[in-house]
Amino acid sequence: MRVQLKHKLMSFIRERARDLWRKERRDPVQILASGALLDPEALTIGFARRFATYKRATLLLQDLARLQAIMQDRWRPVQLIFAGKAHPADEPGKHLIHQVYVLAKEYNLGGQITFVEDYDMHVAKFLVQGVDVWLNSPVPPLEASGTSGQKAALNGVPNLSVADGWWCEGYNGGNGWTINTADSASDPTGRDVSDAHTLYQILENEIVPLYYQRDSDSVPRGWIRVVKEAICSITPLFSARRMVKEYVERFYVPAAREAQETPTPSDVTFLNKAACLYYFEPIQVLKGLVSAGDRVLDGVLDRRSGHADQLNELVCLVLHGHSLRVFATFVPISVYPWTQARISSSVR
Contact between 170 and 159 (Cβ < 8 Å):
yes
Strand partners, 162: 179
CA 201 – CA 263 distance, rounded (Å): 53
Same domain, 154 and 226: yes
- Given a contact cutoff of 8 angstroms between Cβ atoms, the answer to whether 293 and 321 are in contact is yes
Total residue count of the chain as it appears in this document:
348
> Which helix or strand (DSSP H or E) is residue 162 part of?
strand 159-162
57 within some domain: yes
Residues 231 and 127 reside in one and the same domain = yes
Locate all alpha helices (DSSP H) within 23-110, ordered by sequence: 28-33, 64-71, 91-104
User: Using an 8 Å Cβ cutoff, are 69 and 206 in contact?
Assistant: no
**250 is a domain residue:** yes
- Specify whether 310 is located in the same domain as 269: yes
**In-domain check, residue 347:** no
Alpha-carbon radius of gyration of the chain: 22
- Indicate the pTM of the whole model: 0.75
Position 306, amino acid: G
Paired strand residues for 274: 289
Helix (H, G, I), strand (E, B) or coil at 330: strand
The per-residue pLDDT for 237 is 94
Report if residue 200 sits inside a domain.
Answer: yes
29 and 126 both lie in a single domain: yes
Same domain, 224 and 156: yes
At residue 137, the pLDDT reads 96
Nearest-angstrom CA–CA distance, 175 and 156: 10
CATH of the domain at 173: 3.40.50.2000
Give the domain-ending residue among 218, 238, 258: 238
How far is 339 from 274, CA to CA, in rounded Å?
A: 11
Q: Strands 78-83 and 43-48: what pairing?
A: parallel
Question: Amino acid identity, residue 205?
Answer: N
Residues 143 and 47 in one domain: yes
Count of domains in the chain?
2
Domain boundary at 216, 238, 260, which?
Answer: 238
Mean pLDDT by 10 residues, the chain (348 residues): 94 95 92 94 97 96 96 96 96 96 92 96 96 96 88 96 94 96 83 96 98 94 97 94 90 88 47 30 31 39 32 35 36 32 32
Whether the Cβ atoms of residue 175 and residue 158 lie closer than 8 Å to each other: yes
Q: Which of 238, 254, 287 is the last residue of a domain?
A: 238
Closest Cα partner for 16 from 167, 122, 175, 131?
Answer: 122
Residues 219 and 253 in one domain: no
Domain presence at residue 184: yes
Distance CA(226)–CA(159), nearest Å, equals: 10
- C-alpha torsion sign, points 140, 195, 83, 76: negative
User: Are residue 133 and residue 267 in the same domain, yes or no?
Assistant: no
- Beta carbons of 153 and 175 less than 8 angstroms apart: yes
Cβ(207)–Cβ(200) under 8 Å? no
Residues 288 and 162 occupy one common structural domain: no
**Distance of alpha carbon 68 from alpha carbon 127, whole angstroms:** 23
Q: Give Cα 247 to chain centroid, integer Å.
A: 19
- Beta carbons of 168 and 146 less than 8 angstroms apart: no
116 occurs within a structural domain? yes
The neighbour count for residue 293, using CB atoms within 10 Å, is 13
Domain of 115, in residue numbers: 2-238
Quick one: which of 3, 137, 90, 112 has its CA closest to 283?
90
The verdict on residue 17 lying in a domain is: yes
H and E: helices and strands count for the chain: 12, 12
